Amino acid sequence: MQASPTSPGAAETQAPSATDPSAAPGAAVDAVAELIGVTKVYRKSAAAPPVLALRGVDLKIRRGEHLAIMGASGSGKSTLMNILGCLDRPTDGRYRIDGAEASEMTDRDLSQVRGQRLGFVFQAFNLIPQLTVLENAATPLFYQGVPAGERVKRSARALERVGLGDRMQHRPAELSGGQQQRAAIARALVNEPALILADEPTGALDTSTSDTILELFDELHAGGVTLAVITHDSAVAERAERTIVMRDGLIDQQVYR
C-alpha cells in the first residue's frame, strides 16, 4: 500500500481502496461494527504451520441490523465472532465497534468494551446455576460496578422484556430450556449493548421452543436491537435481513432479504 499524501487537499484525489467498501462514495451507513481487511493467523507453536482463519474480511454491521452468519465448520465463524465480541484481536486490519477502535486496545479496554457495548448469547445458555435468574441477568452490571439497587431495577426490566417477569427468583435448573435461554437473553440485554452476538442460540432447543426464541429475537430487533447470529440452521438465518456465508476465512456470499 502507498503512503498517504500529506499535502492539504491531496487526499481528495485519491481513489478509494478497492478492498475497503467503506471508502466507496455514498456508502455512509451508521455502522455499529466495522471490520476492514481483518486477518487472523493462529500459530500453535513457532514450529507449527500458521493457520489463516480469516484472510481479509470487510464487514459492516448496520445499527439496528439483524445479521446471520453461516458457513461450514472451520470456515472462520467463531474467529469472526471472537473478534466482533472483543474476545480476541485481529492479526491485521481494523475493527471499530460503536465508534471505538478495538484493533488497538489493551486487554483491559477490550473487556470494558465487552461489558458496556456487547451482549452475548450462547448455545448452552451459560447461566450460573447457584444464582437466581435475576442475579444471572444482573451479572454484566455487577462487573461494571453498577450499585445493587440499580442492578435489580435494570435486570428486572430486562427480564420483563423477555417474558420472565414471574420467574426472577428461580434458579436456572427450575426453568425450561427456552426459559433459560430467555434469561440469558435478558443478561445480554441488560447493559443495553450496541450489538448482541448469538452463537447457535437455538442449537440446544427443540423446534417449537426455538421458534419462540426466534420470535423474541424478532421482537427485540423490531425494538431497535442490533443482532448478529451464528447459525447452521437456514430457518434461523431466514429471519435475518442479511446472511453472510463464510468460506475459508472470507465472506463468500451475502444474501439480503
The answer to whether 79 contacts ligand ADP (rule: CB under 6 A) is yes
* Grid coordinates belonging to 17: 481502496
59-88 residues near Mg ion, rule: CB under 5 A: 77-78
Q: How far is the CB of 250 from Mg ion (least distance, A)?
A: 16
Nearer to ligand ADP, 68 or 158 (CB): 68
Inter-axis angle of helices 148-161 and 177-189, nearest 10: 130
If binding means CB under 6 A, how many residues of this protein chain bind ligand ADP? 12
Specify whether the CB–CB gap between 31 and 204 falls below 8 A.
no
Q: Which stretch binds ligand ADP (CB under 6 A): 71-79, 124-132, 207-215, 231-239?
A: 71-79
CB of 233 to ligand ADP, least distance (A): 15
Q: List C-alpha distances in Å: 201 to 37, 107, 157, 182, 184.
A: 28, 26, 22, 10, 10
- The listed partner (ligand ADP, Mg ion, none) that binds 74, CB under 5 to 8 Å by sort, is ligand ADP
Report the nearest approach of ligand ADP to the CB of residue 123 (Å). Answer: 12
Burial of 99 per CB tally in 10 Å (0-12, 13-18, 19+): exposed
Cβ-based neighbours of 186, under 8 Å, separated by 6 or more: 133, 137, 155, 158, 159, 161, 162, 164
Which position among 32, 36, 53, 185 is part of the footprint of ligand ADP (CB under 6 A)? Answer: 53
Return the residues of window 18-47 that contact ligand ADP according to CB under 6 A: 42, 44
Residue with smaller CB distance to Mg ion, 85 or 115: 85
Q: In the complex, what is the shortest distance from the CB of residue 195 to ligand ADP, in angstroms, rounded to a whole number? A: 18
Which residues in 91-209 belong to E strands, given as ranges? 92-97, 100-101, 118-122, 195-199
Q: CA 121 to CA 185: how far, in whole Å?
A: 6
Cβ neighbours for 225, distance < 8 A, ≥ 6 positions apart:
64, 189, 196
Residue 75, binding choice from Mg ion, ligand ADP, none, Cβ under 5 to 8 Å by partner class: ligand ADP
Contact in structure between 55 and 248 (CB atoms under 8 Å): yes
Query: Given the complex with ligand ADP, which of 107 and 166 has the nearer CB atom?
Result: 107
- Tell which one of 31, 35, 70, 78 touches ligand ADP (CB under 6 A): 78
CA distance 88 to 59: 17
Q: Where does this chain bind Mg ion (CB under 5 A)?
A: 77-78
Q: Where does this chain bind ligand ADP (CB under 6 A)?
A: 42, 44, 51, 53, 71, 73-79
